[in-house]
Amino acid sequence: MSVISVEHLSKEYQIAKKEKGLRGAVKNLFVARKTIVRAVNDISFSIEKGEIVGFIGPNGAGKSTTVKMMSGILTPSSGHVYVNGTDPQKERIKVVQDLGVVFGQRTQLNWDLRMGESFEMLKHIYRIDSGLYEENMAMMNEILGINEFLDTPARQLSLGQRMRGDLVAAMLHSPSVLFLDEPTIGLDVDGKYAIRKFIKEMNRKKQTTIILTTHDLGDIQELCERLIIINHGIIMEDGPLEELIDRIAPYKNLVVEYFDENAVEHEKAIILSHVGNMVTYRFQKADLTAAQLIHDISAQMRIKDVTIEEAKIDDIIRIAYGGKENGEKE
Amino acid sequence: MLAYRFDVFASIVFQCIVMFATSFFWKALYSNSDTVMGVGVQEMLTYTIISALMSIFLTTKVEDRVIESVRQGSVAMDMMKPINLFGIYFAEDLGYLTSLLFQNAIPIIVIGSLFITIPRPASWYHFLAFLGSFLMSFFINWFLSAIFAMWAFSILNMNPLVQAKRHIIRLLSGSIVPIWFFPSWLAKILNCLPFVYIYQLPLDLYIGKGTPASMLPRLAIQFAWLMILAAAFAILQKRVLRKVMVQGG
Ligand SMILES: Nc1ncnc2c1ncn2[C@@H]1O[C@H](COP(=O)(O)OP(=O)(O)OP(=O)(O)O)[C@@H](O)[C@H]1O
Ligand SMILES: [Mg+2]
């Protein structure tokens, strides 16, 4: 059974169109004109135990909306979500008992309580037994180093400290599913590193199923075995990153520096550019390997240096989002 | 911390001003008569102090809490917890009341006893009846507030309505002027609304106005209101949670 299954899920938001000015204000009282935004449009997917899935897409694509529906805090306009076989709309409490969520832009730590007190409160809310609580705190402190801020009220924490606190808060009760909505937003290099390490460890140690939305390419490359790409509320791609790269950019470039301006041609590679001693070849990964190409060329002419260029991940992502293909490496 | 301390101090001062102003008003009114509508000045002063005390225990945060968390979208975080959403708000209100007990209620009763009168109940029986009735008032008031708060899930700017509701309750519940001073047609209408069962009835019991026989039907009506509001709360809660709007992404 899938840990999460999403079936034909849609969400429409109604937005009251307001008219400007005093006249508009009076008018708004009587006729509320509404426009409908279809934020999520008939999406379906399922996620198995222990997967780390990157749920990515441009701003306004519908990621947060989907995550909210999967956590049972937003009612879908149509379609279904099942988390561990349970519909969060019908049995929210049962679902959230086994769910951890971090919304990078919000906090579940109580603003006025010390961070440690917020954790204590969660311990009671989720009825976490003391043994498990201590064990989880110790393990998470090892990666996130939160012990030093336990006595600081949440409102005095920096963004990165707060985010670490929120991750701990989400995982204290050892949920089997973790939703992370932009968990690395605004963090420095150390912060991102710690959080990525945390995500990997949780996934490895506890088989936690993790769904992650992010705009950070590093997160995507380091964490996500599988990507679900959404844009305009529609799923554009669903598969491993490598597969996506292979499909969108099934080629590599080889830049060869010769000793003079003469260059060798190759039947399975095209020459993209030839400037002075520098020649850029492009070959299809399916036809040829870089090693073979270098071997073939150097058999005919002496070469000084080579560089292998792969398609840039951000270009791939941009193309997958449905952007133009002009981001290619020339 | 300083801001909090000032808040607490300001609220005590404000409550004292209302209490003193009302008691001066009653003293002036009673200056040339011993009893009005069968109530003496002593009872009226007791009424004033107990009403001030009750108003402390009838402060609810639930509306502000819901309005704020819906507006800022933090209601999402509340709904992520494996507990009833309004259960959270109720628990928070109880916690808040506990702090008010020490911060406001004790100062008010001490100041009232020292400078106005010692607010003695009519008898021990009356005191017990008051406690029972006040417990029901507390829940009537909380359910009313919670039902109001539910509107905040669909109306984004609820603050004016909440303010209006608070003033209406204060005026129409007999908390400042007992409704037996109101014109009888108005008193009749008010007796059909839930508000008088928040302040007036427990206060009447405390000062011993009315016979036990006349009190029992009123207690029954109070209980009926409690049940009606509890049922409305339960039904609305289900509906409201289904269409929660979570703002911001
Ligand atoms: N409460 C709301 N009311 C009306 N429209 C909304 C609401 N929340 C989101 N939307 C709209 O729904 C669409 C999807 O929003 P959503 O927050 O899901 O995007 P997202 O993929 O999370 O974007 P981002 O990467 O910027 O966080 C947007 O067009 C947004 O304007
Ligand atoms: Mg978002």
Domains of chain A: 4-245 (3.40.50.300), 250-310 (3.30.70)
Q: Is A326 in the pocket of ligand 1 (CB under 6 A)?
A: no
Contact between B243 and A75 using a beta-carbon 8 Å cutoff = yes
pLDDT tens sequence for chain A (330 residues):
799 999 999 999 887 777 777 777 777 666 667 788 899 999 999 999 999 999 999 999 999 999 999 988 888 999 999 999 999 988 889 999 999 999 888 889 988 899 999 999 999 999 999 999 999 999 999 999 999 999 999 889 999 899 999 999 999 999 999 999 999 988 899 889 999 999 999 999 999 999 999 999 889 989 998 999 999 999 998 999 888 888 888 899 999 999 988 888 899 999 999 999 999 999 998 889 999 999 999 899 989 999 999 888 888 888 888 764 444 443
Nearest CA in chain A to B91: A125
Compute the distance between CA of residue B163 and CA of residue B160 in angstroms, rounded to an integer. Answer: 5
ipTM: 0.75
Question: Which structure tokens are listed for B120?
Answer: 């003695």
Amino acid symbol at B168: I
Strand, coil or helix: A146 = coil
A270 touches chain B (CB under 8 A): no
- Residue A199 CA to its chain's centroid (Å): 12
Q: A36: Cβ below 6 Å to ligand 1? A: no
Whether A59 lines ligand 1, by a CB cut-off of 6 Å, is yes
Take residue A250 and report the two structure tokens written for it: 């099934």
Those residues whose C-beta lies under 8 Å from the C-beta of residue A11, and which sit 6 or more positions away, are A38, A39, A40, A62, A65, A66, A69, A74, A76, A77, A233
- From the CA of A35, the nearest ligand is 1
| Tally of residues, chain B | 249
Q: In chain B, count of helices (H) and strands (E)?
A: 11, 2
Count each helix (H run) and each strand (E run) in chain A, helices first. Answer: 11, 13
What residues pack around ion ligand 2 (CB closer than 5 A)? A 64; B 249
CB contact under 8 A, A93 and B84: yes
Residue B245 Cβ contacting ligand 1 at under 6 Å: yes
Q: Within an 8 Å CB–CB cutoff, is residue A140 touching chain B?
A: no
| B79 vs A contacts (CB less than 8 Å) | 71-73, 92, 96
Q: Where are the domains of chain B?
A: 5-247
